[in-house]
Amino acid sequence: MKLMEKFADQVIASGTYEPLDRIYVLNKIRGFVGDEDVEAKDDEPVVNQLVDLAVKRGKIDDGQTAKEILNDQLYDLMTPTPSVVNHKFWEKYQQSPSTATDWFYNLCTSNDYVKVAAIKKNVVFDKPTKYGNLEITINLSKPEKDPKAIAAAAHDTAKKYPQCALCMENEGYRGRLGQAARSNHRIIRITVGGQQWGFQYSPYAYFHEHCIFLDSKHEPMKINRQTLINLVEIEKQFPDYFVGSNADLPIVGGSMLAHEHYQGGKHIFPMMKASIKKELHFAEYPAVDAGIVNWPMSDIRLTSTDTEQLIDLGTHIIKVWDQYSDESLGIKAFDGQTRHHTVTPIIHREDDKFVLDLVLRDNNTNDEYPLGIFHPHEKLWHIKKENIGLIEVMGRAILPARLKDELNEVKKFWLGAENKIADSHLPWAKEVQSGINITADNVDEVMEQELANVFANVLENAGVFKDDAAGNEGWQRFVDALK
């Protein structure tokens, strides 16, 4: 079958256009790739073939950015307009929230906004630790930055449009060097805290139905009472999803502090399964069950059907922590006017109960720990040097792509084969090897388990109250301050 005709059939089958529109659709395709049709290959996605054809004919440059732009422009033909998407979403929401999200997620995968093929490249496994099974991912899906975009950015001083990758203005944006193609991007409009927000999926998802809730205004992230109100409102609207916020400070926060947003999705994280190691009681909030979670990071869990008391107690904990110092443990709330304390708040549902986890964060640095006292320590940087954000707080490691090749060299080293092991991995590799008899049969298992052990250490480094006598005494002092 002819290539353009095959894609036109797929576009019409998607329901975006009707059979009467076929000539119109074909001419849209011709406008992107040239007039003459060619035979389609059966073993390659149609859109990939069209992009290659456009390159061959000189319609676009043979570069990463140009190919991504055309890919998404072609898939945009299979994507209803934002108004139609929103109308259908809320129509299906009347049946149930999950009916609506199932439909929207299917749309975002079928039109290649969620990059399913790329996500499948990620390395994903889980292994037991003293904190339960921790989840490890080596992120291979997100493409490296286009070298042309990096070069262009070095000389670019113009005001950006869209202002950032999370702004509403990305919906339908063609893209350019340094700004992702978003022709096939759609955002569901929702109301949160009396304001318009957006709900969208993440193109390079870290877990199932990884989604983002974003403020319609480009305003910095902040954690306060309104945050908890917003999270509860979102959880009420989407009870099948968890929703949480990265912290609002550097080092302990996410990579997008300039735009207020939360993350969510349909995934049960290891932290959600963790037990309570010490119950807490707050007489003024009788409807709330509270406790310290058996977790390497410092987490207070609040559970209740009464969301007002949940929000009130959560706000109280945030306010006290904002001002709380315990310098015997390196915990310091302020340097002059510079704030160092915040929380990573996460909420999910268990039947009719709302479960709010408040993970205490401190972004202080010192000479010994210049990247953060409660940040992965230098011994672990060969595996994980980046900030510990929301997803990792909950027990799912997002490790850099470089590790895929580097760890293969470590395995060769363990097996006594010729290798190019990086100097940064050598002390760790020798330490592991000294305690385990590593063979060709168990080398993969050993590597996975040791990565999980390293990640447990990473989370322990990020915890403000350690799981030892001094940490437990510190916990008690903070709990006393809450009363």
Query: Per-residue pLDDT tens for 354-383?
Result: 999 999 999 999 999 999 999 999 999 999
Decide if 201 contacts 209 (C-beta within 8 A). yes
Decide if 225 contacts 343 (C-beta within 8 A). no
Residue 152 is predicted with a pLDDT of 63
The identity of residue 388, as a single letter, is: I
3-state DSSP percent of the chain in helix, strand and coil, to 5: 40, 20, 40
| Block residue for tokens 């009472």 | 225
**pLDDT tens digit string along 126-149?**
999 999 999 999 999 987 666 666
Q: What are phi and psi of 135, to 5 degrees?
A: -100, 135
The string of DSSP letters for 422-454 reads: -GGGHHHHHHHHHHS---TTTHHHHHHHHHHHH
Q: Provide the mean pLDDT of the chain.
A: 96
Residue 147 is predicted with a pLDDT of 65
Does residue 158 carry a pLDDT above 70? no
Residue 256 is predicted with a pLDDT of 87
- Distance from chain centroid for Cα 440: 34
Residue 145 is predicted with a pLDDT of 63
Beta bridge partners of 247: 253
Helix (H) and strand (E) counts in the chain: 16, 15
Q: What is the mean pLDDT of residues 222-235?
A: 98
Does residue 155 carry a pLDDT above 70? no
| Block residue for tokens 């290798």 | 419
Given pLDDT bands bounded at 50, 70 and 90, which one contains residue 335?
very high
d(CA 90, CA 107): 14
Q: What is the mean pLDDT of residues 210-236?
A: 97
Residue 159 is predicted with a pLDDT of 77
Residue 134 is predicted with a pLDDT of 98
Residue 22 is predicted with a pLDDT of 98
Token pair belonging to 91: 């129509």
**pLDDT tens digit string along 285-332?**
999 999 999 999 999 999 999 999 999 999 999 999 999 999 999 999
Residue 355 is predicted with a pLDDT of 98
Does residue 154 carry a pLDDT above 80? no
Cα R_g (the chain), whole angstroms: 25
Residue 109 is predicted with a pLDDT of 98
Q: What are phi and psi of 195, to 5 degrees?
A: -120, 160
d(CA 25, CA 92): 28
d(CA 306, CA 303): 9
Does residue 110 carry a pLDDT above 90? yes
Q: What is the mean pLDDT of residues 182-194?
A: 98
Does residue 156 carry a pLDDT above 80? no
Residue 139 is predicted with a pLDDT of 94
Decide if 213 contacts 234 (C-beta within 8 A). yes
d(CA 271, CA 277): 13
Distances (CA, A) of 251 to 32, 336, 448: 44, 19, 27
Q: What is the mean pLDDT of residues 93-104?
A: 98
- Look at phi and psi of residue 446 and say left if phi exceeds 0, alpha if psi is from -120 to 50, else beta: alpha
pTM of the model: 0.94
Q: What is the mean pLDDT of residues 446-457?
A: 98
Portion of the chain with pLDDT greater than 70, in percent: 97
Q: How many CB atoms lie within 10 A of CB 87?
A: 12
Residue 150 is predicted with a pLDDT of 57
Residue ranges of the domains in the chain?
1-60
Pairing between β-strand 353-362 and β-strand 341-350 as defined by DSSP bridges: antiparallel
Does residue 151 carry a pLDDT above 70? no
Q: What is the mean pLDDT of residues 440-456?
A: 98
How many Cα atoms occupy the beta-carbon half-sphere of 78 within 13 Å?
21
